[in-house]
Structure 1
Amino acid sequence: MIPVGVSGGILLAAFSATTFGLSGPLATGLLGNGWSPGAIVLARIAIAAIALAPFTVVALRGKWHLLRSQAIQILLYGVLAVAGAQFCYFSAVATMDVAPALLIEYTAPAAVVAWLWITKGQRPSRLTVIGAVLAAAGLVLVLDLISGADLAWSGVAWAFAAMIGATAYFLISAETGSGLPPLALAGAGLVVGAVTLGVLAATGLLPMRANTDPTAYAFGSLPWWAPLLLLGVVTAAISYATGVAAIRLLGSRVASFVALLEVVAAVLFAWLLVDQLPGLAQLAGGILVIAGVVAVRLGDRDIA
């Protein structure tokens, strides 16, 4: 029987991945209107920080001293897991195709497995390795890499840097010994991330372009602020908060593989919002990703 905490963690992780997957299709409409990726990501993280602020305050009631004692954890989470992953990913796609950049970033689960093996002696089981291979094959199909992709060494380097940020997200979120509530880590980390991205924007490293034209999607148009609110509240505030909670329940290894469902969700949302119909290969890839996640979960249970 699967423990309630584990089943709840899987549901939370799947929900977090699904809401994260909505971000790309939503941003596509704004990008088509001339918004720069930097302006979108800064607005998204800033709105998320504001949306989570009241819940962060409640979570920290009587525990404000944790902000000081766990300052390094919060700073690393905000700089690496939030701002770093976002900035490096968008820097990558500025010089290479989106699909290979995503594939490189989503080698984070393999990096998590390697880190736990090297630092904690948690050798992956055979099922975990099989699951990783299945998930990787599924990603190749979902991202349609077989048809060829444009690669640039600078873009590859930025994508690997984004992978480091994503790996930090899983590893830092899994730390339970600090006593910092999941909501507090997510909320405080988003504030740090928003400030970091703001500094990058102020220095010109994060180009900022925006306008107030209506945003077109497959179902019609929305005012410019509507997708921004959805990006900030749904695909960032809710995604990060539920993601941290899920990682605390599942551990970084299993949660990182469940997070691969984000790519599958992104393909489905792209179909619904921007009329990008997934092909049979992408659907088959989604099935492989899910099979890989199941195998990793079973393998993790064997290790435990």
Structure 2
Amino acid sequence: MGRYKRIGYFMAAFGGMCWAFSGACGQYLFMNRGLNADWLVSVRLTVAGILLTLYSLARWRGKATAMFRSARKVGALVVFGLFGMALCQYAFFRSIELSNAATATTLQYTGPAIVLVWLALREKRMPSKQELLAVLCAIVGVYLLATHGDPTQLALSGKAFVWCMIGACAFAVYSVQPRALIERYDTVPVTGFGMLIGGIALGAIFQPWHIVGQWDAVTVCGLIVIVLFGTICAFCCYLEGVRRIGAAKGSIIAAVEPVTSAILSVFWLGVPLQVMDYAGIAFIVAAMILLAGKDKKPIPEPEAAEQPAPAVSDGAIE
């Protein structure tokens, strides 16, 4: 494995760990400082979007503005901002608010199975046995987390489960849809404008200028961690990892997130997880491991850092 791909794997994994820490911080603020997902996500995306957009205009002015010369590219960016960025993040934090960080994070990671199904349909092929086994593991994991093995009752509320599944679908969109834009215009400009579009849309709905919760130094520090590490750092690292190793592998490697989230939930937040919760997490992580070796085709490495990336990559939706 070349250095180019190794960096991609590391960045996808680091992005996942940053997301896990961000989710745990969000749950802490929900439980102890009275914040809610409506306010937190709209502020998080807007602030991070402004910072990344300003940075993009300062460093990549040509690439950052070139996206807006094509109605098609603008449309793709708006779809990413609304249905990839905003919906993914709102559904994620809404799920945490309604359940807990470990459960919401793990259920979101059925997203790679959705990516797999989409790519199979797009390529007009049947999934392999390994892929089908991975999807089955993901389904079993969702079942155990949602019901604890008893089909007559849900281990989490119906509303929490619905938002978790919405988050998984949005995660799939987020992993696949912007890759062509990122190949052509770079990770940071696409991520920054996507966040800004999503943050403005959520702000128009939830009106975050009406401050909620209890504010002190802990709340401010938690918000800073969520914006800087859980948003800017996590998204840029993850999307750059996806650009280097592909959407399917990127979403799989970032499955370090549910494991990290479970550890933080138990040892930091004191959330009691049952045996069936651990079993569900194990099945979903097993699905990610099964899929990790699916694509054996080597990814050519650029000869130099200045080499332009191809405009459209395999599996991307522009």
TM normalised by structure 1 equals: 0.80
Q: Which residue of 2 aligns with 1:39?
A: 39
Q: Report the alpha carbon displacement of residue 227 of structure 1 after superposing the two structures with TM.
A: 0.3
Q: Does 1:108 align with 2:111?
A: yes
More deviation in 224-233 or 21-30?
Answer: 21-30
Q: Which residue of 2 aligns with 1:81?
A: 84
Identity of aligned pairs, percent?
19
Q: Residue type matched to 1:174 in 2?
A: R
Could you list the per-position Cα deviations for residues 24-43 of structure 1 after superposition, in whole angstroms to 9, with x for gaps in the alignment? 21012211221122112222
Q: Which of the residues 148, 158, 173 maps onto 1:168?
A: 173
Tell whether the 8 Å contact from 2:42 to 2:202 is kept in structure 1 after alignment: yes
Q: Residue type matched to 1:169 in 2?
A: Y
Cα root mean square deviation, aligned: 3.4
Q: Which residue of 2 aligns with 1:150?
A: 156
Q: Report the alpha carbon displacement of residue 289 of structure 1 after superposing the two structures with TM.
A: 4.8
Q: Does 1:29 align with 2:28?
A: yes
Q: Report the alpha carbon displacement of residue 58 of structure 1 after superposing the two structures with TM.
A: 4.2
Q: Which residue of 2 aligns with 1:237?
A: 232
Could you list the per-position Cα deviations for residues 101-153 of structure 1 after superposition, in whole angstroms to 9, with x for gaps in the alignment? 6555432211111111111235433333334444555666678944851343x
Tell whether the 8 Å contact from 1:59 to 1:183 is kept in structure 2 after alignment: no
Aligned partners of 2:219, 2:242: CA distance in 1, in Å?
33
Q: Does 1:127 align with 2:122?
A: no
Q: Which of the residues 176, 187, 195 maps onto 2:192?
A: 187
Q: Residue type matched to 1:120 in 2?
A: E
The 1:48–1:273 alpha-carbon spacing in structure 2 relative to 1, beyond 3 Å, is farther
Q: Report the alpha carbon displacement of residue 251 of structure 1 after superposing the two structures with TM.
A: 1.4
Aligned partners of 2:257, 2:279: CA distance in 1, in Å?
15
Q: Which residue of 2 aligns with 1:48?
A: 48
Aligned partners of 1:294, 1:256: CA distance in 2, in Å?
11
Number of matched pairs = 291
Aligned partners of 2:11, 2:140: CA distance in 1, in Å?
24
Could you list the per-position Cα deviations for residues 137-174 of structure 1 after superposition, in whole angstroms to 9, with x for gaps in the alignment? 5666678944851343x555444433332111011233
The 1:60–1:145 alpha-carbon spacing in structure 2 relative to 1, beyond 3 Å, is farther
The 1:140–1:264 alpha-carbon spacing in structure 2 relative to 1, beyond 3 Å, is farther
Q: Which residue of 1 aligns with 2:8?
A: 9
Q: Does 1:256 align with 2:256?
A: no
Q: Which residue of 2 aligns with 1:270?
A: 265
Aligned partners of 2:193, 2:148: CA distance in 1, in Å?
37
Aligned partners of 1:271, 1:93: CA distance in 2, in Å?
14
Aligned partners of 2:182, 2:36: CA distance in 1, in Å?
39
Aligned partners of 1:158, 1:280: CA distance in 2, in Å?
23
Q: Which residue of 2 aligns with 1:217?
A: none
Aligned partners of 1:293, 1:252: CA distance in 2, in Å?
13
Q: Which residue of 2 aligns with 1:211?
A: 214
More deviation in 279-288 or 236-245?
Answer: 279-288
Tell whether the 8 Å contact from 2:43 to 2:203 is kept in structure 1 after alignment: no
Aligned partners of 1:167, 1:196: CA distance in 2, in Å?
20
Aligned partners of 1:277, 1:178: CA distance in 2, in Å?
42
The 1:110–1:72 alpha-carbon spacing in structure 2 relative to 1, beyond 3 Å, is same
The 1:228–1:73 alpha-carbon spacing in structure 2 relative to 1, beyond 3 Å, is same
Aligned partners of 2:272, 2:56: CA distance in 1, in Å?
39
Could you list the per-position Cα deviations for residues 37-88 of structure 1 after superposition, in whole angstroms to 9, with x for gaps in the alignment? 2112222222322332343224532222223322112111110111112334
Tell whether the 8 Å contact from 1:138 to 1:284 is kept in structure 2 after alignment: yes
Q: Residue type matched to 1:66 in 2?
A: M
